[in-house]
Structure 1
């Protein structure tokens, strides 16, 4: 059976990738920071087929030797692990840029050393859209790259870390004849497999509590009615598997299903869950940016996505089951 390594296996998106790989018959090597942390990783052991085909390895992104051990014998790697800020960071160089960039370098070098066939790197829509030089009337696609200098000057550290590490990964692949593909998801909502709320689902939790606080500095303009690009975590996992399995996949893929204003999202949530206390009186964004992008390249690879209503209903269901919502 083919072996695939998933970095940061206990995370929100990575857990769904592990679940889908196991369901399709793969053997999975998952890297985690702490093998004994049941709160963060215990849910992985409960997945169907985990007992027979899931093997967890202790390794973080800065542990090159540990990554080599985890990746050894694998045909492919899906690199999901990344530091995500909860608001403003004290030392962006140490907390965001270094772990993401050095970590991706370590993963790429480990893949080269262990003779991996294919690597799928999870980047971000924020590695695409933060480009003030992009023509306003031109649809954003995979040819658009965020301006890393602009991101750092604007203190968009997650954005900067993603665009720099994605560029390096794709260039490393070309230079070393390693098949590297990048998938760039937007804000990921949907059901959780673990009991700990992730950065993006905290957005929903905050809205239910009457706070328009995005917990992600790339979006966090608390009183403004900003555009929110959304993709379901299950559709994101599906995109990653398509990028891995399809021999024709190449380059980068924009992965986002829905785009709506915060006020529109709040109204949809009100219709579905009327008994919560939602934020009111949001003003129009001073930046007035309407993100106009296309996911045509990913759709041509065979991708499709769920309705936003299904995503939101399933998000709330699992948050309630985890005791995060009344």
Structure 2
């Protein structure tokens, strides 16, 4: 594939999610044609911006889709070479029924890709929460792409974001392998970036349920949304990619890093009423997350 002069048409579904929107922008910048598939979740600011972009960007087409309606997905995928599957509930994850909807959506997207001859690869956007939750997380030395969150543990603790991401990714992998569809997944940490508190507030807060336990067990990490978007595109462009890719810039395992994260997410998370300067850095937790696969992918990208 000629990356300097791409001829591919890519579908981003759902393009009005925070990650989907940034993938869409980066694809257009790199010269791709894009089908922006948008689920009807009300007139969000990102959705309005995408529709405004369509009026001036000739390489952008917007499609309304219902991920529970298989046919609407097929229409959006027409003539596309890749799909970036970014399913996220803009209202957050507050009950079990939202888990089922995301799983059914993931299954429909993969099944639609299997029936579309032009699709070369699915880049499935998942989450680190699909890998970090279990009873004995504090005793595990390495948490990497082979790790999965325990479904029973997530259900017992009502970790709906983790449950949704784990079940939907597992369902997508099972069907992709059964249908022999080429798929890779990107598992970002907590996503931060421009106007994240405005555009992605509820999914962010859903991710952070159990944040204290993540922090103490060395598995709380965050990543800039622009880097996440670039990793997704790199995962499509590199024909050697396979499996899962943990994606994060920073592991939060000190009080200094925890404070930086709170400041980044303001006003979603209030600053502590008192924070004594001399107490900063007094506690350090062991890092458990590993992302060697991502490092190789990024280094290969810079070398091209």
Is TM (by shorter chain) over 0.5? yes
Residues in 2 aligned to 1:123 and 1:35: alpha-carbon distance in whole angstroms: 20
**What is aligned with 1:294?**
290
User: Are 2:272 and 1:279 equivalent residues in the alignment?
Assistant: yes
Matches within 5 A, 1:234-245: 234-245=226-237
TM-score, normalised to structure 1's length? 0.75
RMSD between superposed Cα atoms in Å = 3.4
Matched with 1:93 is 96
1:241-256 pair list within 5 angstroms? 241-256=233-248
Contact 1:9–1:81 under 8 Å retained in 2: no
When the two structures are aligned, how many residues end up with a matched partner? Answer: 280
- Give the equivalent residue in structure 1 for 2:75: 69
Q: Assess if the C-alpha contact under 8 Å between 1:225 and 1:262 holds in 2.
A: no
TM-score, normalising length from structure 2? 0.80
1:226–1:141 Cα change, 3 Å: closer
Is residue 2:225 matched to residue 1:233? yes
Task: Quote the Cα distance in structure 1 between the aligned partners of 2:142 and 2:262.
Answer: 31
Equivalences for 1:129-278 in 2 at 5 Å? 129-133=132-136, 136-192=139-195, 196-199=198-201, 214-216=205-207, 218-219=209-210, 228-261=220-253, 263-265=255-257, 267-268=259-260, 278=271
Q: Is the 8 A contact 2:54 2:60 kept in 1?
A: no
Q: Corresponding residue for 1:107?
A: 109
Shift of residue 133 of structure 1?
A: 4.3
Q: The residue matched to 2:37 in structure 1 has which SS? A: strand
> Following the alignment from structure 1 to structure 2, what is the Cα–Cα distance between the partners of residues 216 and 85?
12
Matched residue, 1:6: 12
User: Is 2:51–2:62's contact at 8 Å kept on the other side of the alignment?
Assistant: no
Judging by fraction of residues, say which structure has more helix: 2
1:219 is displaced (CA, Å) by 3.2
Distance in 1 of aligned mates of 2:240 and 2:62: 30
Provide the residue aligned with 1:51 in structure 2.
57
The equivalent of 1:208 in structure 2 is none
Q: Which ranges in structure 2 are unaligned for 5 or more consecutive residues?
A: 1-6, 276-283
- Find the partner of 2:66 among 56, 60, 71: 60
- Distance across 2 between alignment mates of 1:258 and 1:6: 26
